[in-house]
Amino acid sequence: MSVESAGSGPGLLVIVATVIGLGVVAQILADRFQVPSVLFLIVSGIVVGPVGIGLLNPASFGGALSAIVGLSVAIIVFEGAFHLKLSKLREAPSAQIKLVTVGAVVSLIGTAVTVRYALGTEWDLAFLIGALLIATGPTVITPILSVVAVRDRVEAALETEGIVNDVTAAILAVVMFEVVVLTEGSAFEFNEFLSEFITKLGTGLFVGMLVAGVVWYVLRHIDLSRGNAPQNARLLVLVGALVAYAGADFFAKEAGIAAVATAGMLLGNADLPYEEKIEEFKGDITLVVLSFVFIILAALLQPADLFSLGLGGVAVVVVVALIVRPLGVMLSTTGDRFDWGERLFMSFVGPRGIIPASVATLFAFQLQSRGLNQAATTLVGTVFLVIVVTVVLEGGFARHIAEYLNVIPMRVIIVGGGKVGRALAERLEDRGENVVIVENDETIIETARDAGFTVHRGDGTDTEVLRAAGADNARIAVAATGDDDANLLVAQLADSKFDVETVIARANNPDNVDAFEDLGVRTISSSMATAWAIDNVIERPALSNWMTELGRAGDVQEIEVTSENHIGKTIEELDDELPSGCLIALVGRDGDTQVPNENFTLQKGDHITFLGRKDAVREAIDLCHPPA
């Protein structure tokens, strides 16, 4: 690996503007083609870098490059950790713990052994590469999950693994580099290694908790200003992330990654004021720095470094991606709630990201300064080869892999993005449904997208528009426009063309309800629904208030009993297995619905209605109606 000295060429202003511009274009293309933006960012960096047209030369940043990359990585890791909510962590806690312990160990040892024998390196360099390639990271996982809407437990497991293993990989690699590689043949002392690792991790955790506590206190107890409080809150959180990184790194090199991850997780679960504004702001900042880091590091790629590895390099990539990664995932998810499709998806979607790329680059500079050019070339070549191949193939084909393995949850199609459609979409998404709104009015589309909904532009009465929106994979279709004729046509298309399980139409004119239902369309009258709601407020105010809040903190769900383990059990036996905060409200059988007593015995085909806290209801559903 080599970095050319800065010479004549575009100035820094042109370079920075180019990088940011390419980052925005990459994001637009990613949204347009529904593939992770990382793929376009890497291609952009290679094209405009020294290997390509030569417009971008990372050497122009001089010695400041490592600091810029470090701060950028800090913001990215903080952003990912901030979004890691406790509610998500509860989705698959056992698997998450094993992925960052068992999975990390399998990755470290498996990769090191492969590098040692495929490339003939020394054990110290092999384990250094293995430590770096533990990391998947939010820089590559988050863009994939933003376009591949997998189930919550899969998303939670991959996000947790990415964030925690980023921290583990960075600290482990730095300690290994300082204690083992730079000793140049001195005896390896495990106690020294362990002491360094614990020191760096402990420093990061302490600084992260300290900064998170200060930021939380200021936001909760100090009046930031009357007019600009949201803006000041956003800036304070951003500064907190940078201070946590720089402060921890000052006391212990590379402890900054642990600090920002800790601070991000604590603040993200601290119920901060202006949290939505903070998340929006951080998302935009992260997009800019993510683009910058990936494009800059991709521009550092030297084909000679990759080609010098020969078939050994190819073997490393194949073993890491197709053997080591699946082995770690399978061992980590054994006995958990994941089905085979989900386990395979997690096995084959584990691209490596920014942490190994940036840290490997910094290590290579130090190795070159000591005259260890071959070790530097092997280190950077192997790490970048694995990154490029896994990001391009696993990131680029993630959606296809998910669709083939059937791990994308069934969609809910809502035709009509007006107030009714958006209100319904909000409640459904809050329950974890994968909702797509179909709308052709530009003003409504803009409003719905500003509110954060996924919107497919087009006429919902067109078969091809419905198909493009995902009607082939839809479990529920709702026709919610203000035009009854359009709603009837949408409902009939969803039923006859796409065989959607549940089809519901909105009737704006109550006189059309009977006509719709005579045609086999399940119909809700807007006028009658409003009248019922008003009547509930008058006659049943407590019930009305509870129903209004339903879907936020609590939930009611009806499912069919499909678990063989529960058919033949009594309600009393099932109740003992249900999570705290969940009750069995009703049981339906052969069209008859009743409140069951404790001796009621479940049969195949029975429908149970669960009532309780949202997370408890979801857990009960997985228990009695596990995913296919």
3-state helix, strand, coil in the chain (%, to 5): 65, 10, 25
The tokens 């360099």 sit on which residue? 125
Per-residue model confidence (pLDDT) at position 6: 44
Taking 70 as the pLDDT cut, the residues of the chain under it are 1-10, 34-36, 63, 87-92, 139, 179-190, 193, 224-227, 281-283, 336-337, 431-432, 543-544, 546-553, 627-628
- Residues 349 and 394: beta-carbon distance below 8 Å: yes
Handedness of CA 459, 462, 464, 466 (dihedral sign): positive
Parse the chain into domains and list their residue ranges.
63-405, 411-543, 553-624
Per-residue model confidence (pLDDT) at position 34: 65
Angle formed by the axes of helices 65-82 and 354-369, to 10°? 160
- Residues 94 and 361: beta-carbon distance below 8 Å: no
Per-residue model confidence (pLDDT) at position 547: 66
Listing DSSP states for 199-242 in one string gives HHHHHHHHHHHHHHHHHHHHHHHS---SSSHHHHHHHHHHHHHH
Rounded Cα–Cα distance for residues 215 and 247 (Å): 15
CATH, domain range 63-405? 1.20.1530.20
C-alpha distances out from residue 162 to 105, 138, 354, 485, 613, Å: 14, 5, 11, 49, 29
- Residues 325 and 386: beta-carbon distance below 8 Å: no
The tokens 């209004």 sit on which residue? 548
Query: What superfamily would CATH give domain 411-543?
Result: NAD(P)-binding Rossmann-like Domain (3.40.50.720)
Per-residue model confidence (pLDDT) at position 352: 83
Q: Using the CB atoms, write b or e for 291-326: b if 16+ within 10 Å.
A: bbbbbbbbbbbbeebbeebeebbebbbebbbeebbb
Listing DSSP states for 419-430 in one string gives HHHHHHHHHHHH
Identify which of 135, 129, 132 has the alpha carbon closest to the alpha carbon of residue 99: 135
Per-residue model confidence (pLDDT) at position 505: 92
At 3 the three-state DSSP class reads: coil
Q: Using the CB atoms, write b or e for 52-80: b if 16+ within 10 Å.
A: beebbbbbbbeeebeeebbbbbbbbbbbb
DSSP 602: P
Per-residue model confidence (pLDDT) at position 112: 93
DSSP 579: P
Per-residue model confidence (pLDDT) at position 88: 60
The tokens 């149970």 sit on which residue? 608
Handedness of CA 597, 601, 606, 608 (dihedral sign): positive
- The structure's pTM equals 0.65
Per-residue model confidence (pLDDT) at position 319: 94
Residue 591: left (phi > 0), alpha (psi -120 to 50), or beta? Answer: left
CATH, domain range 553-624? 3.30.70.1450
Per-residue model confidence (pLDDT) at position 549: 63
